[in-house]
Amino acid sequence: MLFRLAWRNIWRNKRRTAITAASILFAVLFATFMEAIQKGAWDHMINSVVNYYYGYVQVHEKGYWDEQAIDKAFPLVDSLMKLDEKAPEIREVLPRIESFALASTGDHTSGVMVVGIDPERENSMTSLRDRISKGKYLEDDEEAALVAEGVAENLGLSLGDTIVLISQGYHGVNAAGKYPIKGLVNFGSPDLNKQMVYLPLPVAQYFYGATGLVTSLALKLDEQDDIKPVLKALYTELDTSAYEVMDWKEMLPDLVEAKTVDSAGNVIVYIILYLIIAFGIFGTILMMSKEREYEFGVLISIGLHRWQLGLTVWMEVIMLGLLGALMGILASIPLVWYFHVNPLRFSGDYAAAMEKFGFEPIFPAIFEAHIFLTQALLVFIITALLALYPIFKIRKLEVVQAMRA
C-alpha cells in the first residue's frame, strides 16, 4: 500500500512530476554529454600522441628508460619480433635504435635525435610516410635519411643535400656517417621538428656500431584497453630481469599529469553542475514537503508511523529520480552517439594551434556504457540523498501545527 501510495502521489501533480523528472533528465543529459566529450577528447589526444611516436607499450633493456643511453641496446632476436604471436592484441612490433648525435653541414651544427627504423613497420603506426613534405620515404636498408624540416632549416639543408652525423656509438665507439637527405618530414610539434632524423634500421645500427641491436621495441595496439592483456602476456613471455616493459603512462608522465589537472578542473565544473541540479531537485522536494505538511499531519494522526510516512515520501522521490535518470540515459544515447560519429571539429586559431602540436582539432564523444550509467547513478544518488530531507521534516513534524497549516 505504501508503494501504491507513493506511486500515485507521483502522478497526483503531473506538472510537478514532469518538471522534476525533466530537471533530472537534463542534468543527466548535460553531465553525460560533458563527460563523454571530455573523455573522448582526451582519448583522442592520447591516441594521437601515443601513435605519433611512442606506442602504447614499449620494451627496452632493463634500466634503459632512466638513462636512455645507446649502451642499453639489446639484441633484436627473432622471438622479440614475434611478440605479436604471444599477444594477439599486438598489431605490429616496431624496432628502433635511438640516440642523440651532432648533425652538421658546413659551419652549422645541431643536436639531433637519430632514430633507426623499419620504414614499413614504423609507418603502420606513426604514419610517418604521410608527414613527408618533400622527397620520398625511406626504403628498408638504403643509405639515406629523413630529416625533420626544422633540422633542415637550422642547418640550411635541403632535399638531396648530405647530412653529417657524429655521435658516440655503442660501448664508446666513434659513430660518424654522412647520408643524403631523401625526404623532409613535417612534425606539428616544434620539439620533434627541431630534432628528428630517421635512418633505416640497419644503417642506423651500423652508424652506432650496434649491428643487430635495438634500444626499443614500440608495440602497436588498437586501443588503450589492449594494454592490460599485452602487459600481462609480456610479463609472462619476457625475462623481466633483462627487459623492462612500459606503457604510455610510465613513458609520458607529463601527459598523464595534464589529463589529471584537466580532470581536476572539470571536477569543479561537475560540482557546480551537480549543485545546480541538487538545488533544482531540492526546491521541488522542499515545495512538496511544505505543500503536504497538512496531509502528513493527517496521516500520522490516523495511525501512520512517521517512518512509514517518511519511507513513502522517500520512495516517491526515489521513483522520480529513477524516472528522470532513466529518461536522461535514453535522451543521452542518441546525442552522445551523434557526437561520437560526428565529432566536434574546431577551426580557426585554436585548431591551428592544436594542429601545430600534431593533434587533430576534433573532439569526438566517447560512447561507453559506463559514462551513461555513472552520470545517471550520480544524479540518482544526489536525488536519493536529498530525499532524506522530507524524512527529517516528518520526524520533526508537529502534528497539530501541521494540521493547522
* Minimum CB–partner distance for residue 322 and another protein (Å): 19
Nearest to 242 by CA among 69, 74, 68: 74
> Interaction with another protein in 295-324: which residues (CB under 8 A)?
295, 298-306, 308
Counting contacts by CB under 8 A, is residue 290 touching another protein? no
* Minimum CB–partner distance for residue 6 and another protein (Å): 9
Q: Which residue has the cell 618530414?
A: 185
Counting contacts by CB under 8 A, is residue 9 touching another protein? yes
Counting contacts by CB under 8 A, is residue 8 touching another protein? yes
* Minimum CB–partner distance for residue 399 and another protein (Å): 5
For 162, the grid coordinates are 648530405
Give me the long-range contacts of 290-294 (CB less than 8 A, separation at least 24): 293/393, 293/397, 293/402, 293/405, 294/402, 294/403, 294/405
Angle between helices 306-341 and 14-49 (to 10 degrees): 40
- Name the residue type at position 128: L
Nearer to another protein, 80 or 304 (CB): 304
**x/- contact string, 11-30, with another protein (CB under 8 A)?**
xx------------------
* Minimum CB–partner distance for residue 318 and another protein (Å): 17
Site size toward another protein (CB under 8 A) is 21
Helices (H) and strands (E) in the chain, counts: 18, 14
* Minimum CB–partner distance for residue 398 and another protein (Å): 9
| 3 state DSSP class of 170 | helix
Nearer to another protein, 242 or 302 (CB): 302
> Interaction with another protein in 339-358: which residues (CB under 8 A)?
none
* Minimum CB–partner distance for residue 280 and another protein (Å): 24
- Name the residue type at position 83: L
Nearest to 83 by CA among 234, 269, 209, 264: 234
CA dist., res. 199 & res. 196, Å (int):
10
Please, what's the b/e burial string for 199-212 (b: 16 or more CB within 10 A of its CB; e: otherwise)?
bbbbbbbbbbbbee
Counting contacts by CB under 8 A, is residue 400 touching another protein? yes
* Minimum CB–partner distance for residue 389 and another protein (Å): 20
Q: Which stretch binds another protein (CB under 8 A): 228-236, 237-245, 338-346, 397-405?
A: 397-405
Strands 213-214 and 132-135: unpaired
Q: Which stretch binds another protein (CB under 8 A): 5-13, 67-75, 238-246, 361-369?
A: 5-13
Nearer to another protein, 8 or 345 (CB): 8
Nearer to another protein, 58 or 312 (CB): 312
* Minimum CB–partner distance for residue 12 and another protein (Å): 5
Nearer to another protein, 268 or 400 (CB): 400
Nearer to another protein, 1 or 369 (CB): 1
CA dist., res. 68 & res. 15, Å (int):
67
Counting contacts by CB under 8 A, is residue 82 touching another protein? no
Q: Which stretch binds another protein (CB under 8 A): 34-42, 166-174, 246-254, 290-298?
A: 290-298
CA dist., res. 100 & res. 111, Å (int):
7
Nearer to another protein, 134 or 306 (CB): 306
Nearer to another protein, 362 or 403 (CB): 403
User: Which of the 8 DSSP states describes residue 344?
Assistant: E
For 189, the grid coordinates are 610539434
CA dist., res. 97 & res. 112, Å (int):
14
Give the DSSP per-residue string, 243-276: EEEEEHHHH-HHHHHHHHHHHHHHHHHHHHHHHH
Strands 196-200 and 108-117: parallel
Nearer to another protein, 16 or 134 (CB): 16
Pure H helices in 137-189: 149-155
> Interaction with another protein in 52-71: which residues (CB under 8 A)?
none
For 231, the grid coordinates are 602487459
Nearer to another protein, 6 or 94 (CB): 6
Nearer to another protein, 72 or 292 (CB): 292
* Minimum CB–partner distance for residue 393 and another protein (Å): 15
Counting contacts by CB under 8 A, is residue 47 touching another protein? no
Site residues (vs another protein, CB under 8 A): 1, 5, 8-9, 11-12, 294-295, 298-306, 308, 399-400, 403
